[in-house]
Amino acid sequence: MNIKRTYQEINNKIKKGEAIVATAEEIISMVEEKGIKKVTQEIDVVTTGTFGPMCSSGAILNFGHSDPPIKMQKIWLNDVEAYAGLAAVDAYLGATQLSESQGMDYGGAHVIEDFILGKKIKLKALSYGTDCYPRKEIEVYITKESINQAILFNPRNSYQNYNVAINTSEKKMYTYMGILLPEMGNANYSTSGQLSPLLKDPKFITIGIGTRIFLGGTQGYIAWEGTQFCPQESKDNKKGQQIYKGGTLAVIGNLKEMSTDYIRAAIFKNYGISLMVGIGIPIPILNDEVMKYVSVKDEEIFTEVINSSVPHLSRPSLGWVNYKQLREGKINIQGKEIPTSSLSSYAKAREIAQKLKDEIIKGKFFLQEPIQKLPQKGEFKPLKGIN
């Protein structure tokens, strides 16, 4: 019998405390034991999780008006510049922006973390002054309680399937994928594999604009496709496996409700600042097809190994590996055994998937059907000058 469920049916079961939920990790053994059709009949929701560096992140802040009022033209928060070209007292603070006094030791991500912790943040703003906004300078301290809105809005998060980075040169490299040792001394990756949201719904059957998600410790939403959204499908010629990559999400949520358990600043030595973001997405089991995708396991999910030492947009491929190999701590590339390490935390991804599962079971988290599907195709355009 082919099962077909609706969001309303599942939400009704959540409301009554009758929903059966499994994490993306738990569902694998269930399907192996009973098969897709049987487990589809039993399970209503599968939860996913990821926790890793997501540089394209930041916060929209509204400070409120001073007396006399000021039209903020230049803004610094703990000496980190925020973008002020929104309105008189609105700003966007980018996670990767560096402190003007501390450089790479402190940045926008640290301000966001300090804000969540309730610490005082020094706000400095300058203005050219107008008739209605006569004030030209202000220095005050703010907290999350003192300002109006603090909205985490991240233009590109939850990358579907990121490449593995290797350095074939003779020089150590400091990159957004961490430190890459010379002569293929290590391999770094940053995806949670069989727990990763966009690898458990690779064709965006259930994930779309308006989907309610776990974001940084609270409930948030998918606002749009992420920047550089370019979903791709390819096959590994050796294994014949279908490979998905290139999907991204723009996400939004209330920063005041978030926790530093799931939002943390990170410093990448000699490269810059990033924000560690925790995201969990519930996948409603609408039918057998959805179950087929959520039950894939690490050894069935492949990603590409890229030579990061080539200083060009298009970098040479060194082959394909699966996440089981990566998580076991070593891969074999060109006959050499290379140790692996992950920039994302699998343990934290597991924790997020479990926390989301618990909230659904307790009736604290309901599913939201997307109001619009994400595109099935995209185009990744390089920057080219126009004459």
Per residue in 223-237, pLDDT (tens digit) is 999 999 999 887 665
User: Is the domain of 70 the same as that of 198?
Assistant: no
User: Is the domain of 316 the same as that of 234?
Assistant: yes
122 φ, ψ to 5°? -80, 120
Residue 373 lies in a domain: no
Domain span at 219: 7-54+153-366
14 φ, ψ to 5°? -65, -45
* More reliable by pLDDT, 276 or 312: 276
User: Is the domain of 114 the same as that of 48?
Assistant: no
Residue 184's pLDDT is what?
A: 98
Residue 288 lies in a domain: yes
User: Is the domain of 294 the same as that of 312?
Assistant: yes
- Name residues whose C-beta falls within 8 Å of residue 165's C-beta, 6 or more positions apart in sequence: 175, 177, 178, 180, 187, 188, 189, 306, 308
Residue 385's pLDDT is what?
A: 83
User: Which active-site residues does the annotation give?
Assistant: 132
Q: What is the mean pLDDT of the chain?
A: 96
User: Do β-strands 212-215 and 218-225 pair in parallel, antiparallel, or remain unpaired?
Assistant: antiparallel
The 8 Å CB, 24+ separation contacts for 128-131 are 128/71, 128/73, 129/71, 130/71
Q: Per-residue pLDDT tens for 27-53? A: 999 999 999 999 999 999 999 999 999
Residue 35's pLDDT is what?
A: 97
Distance between CA atoms of residues 320 and 232, nearest Å:
15
User: Is the domain of 73 the same as that of 42?
Assistant: no
- Name residues whose C-beta falls within 8 Å of residue 250's C-beta, 6 or more positions apart in sequence: 153, 154, 155, 156, 157, 222, 223, 224, 225, 226, 227
Distance between CA atoms of residues 192 and 49, nearest Å:
8
- pTM, rounded to two decimals: 0.96
* More reliable by pLDDT, 291 or 311: 291
User: Is the domain of 178 the same as that of 267?
Assistant: yes
**Total of domains in the chain:** 2
Q: Per-residue pLDDT tens for 274-285? A: 999 999 999 999
Distance between CA atoms of residues 82 and 61, nearest Å:
10
Tell me the mean pLDDT in the region 264-293: 98
Is residue 121 over pLDDT 90? Answer: yes
Distance between CA atoms of residues 273 and 81, nearest Å:
14
User: Is the domain of 216 the same as that of 346?
Assistant: yes
Q: Per-residue pLDDT tens for 79-97? A: 999 999 999 999 999 999 9
Residue 281's pLDDT is what?
A: 98
Residue 69 lies in a domain: yes
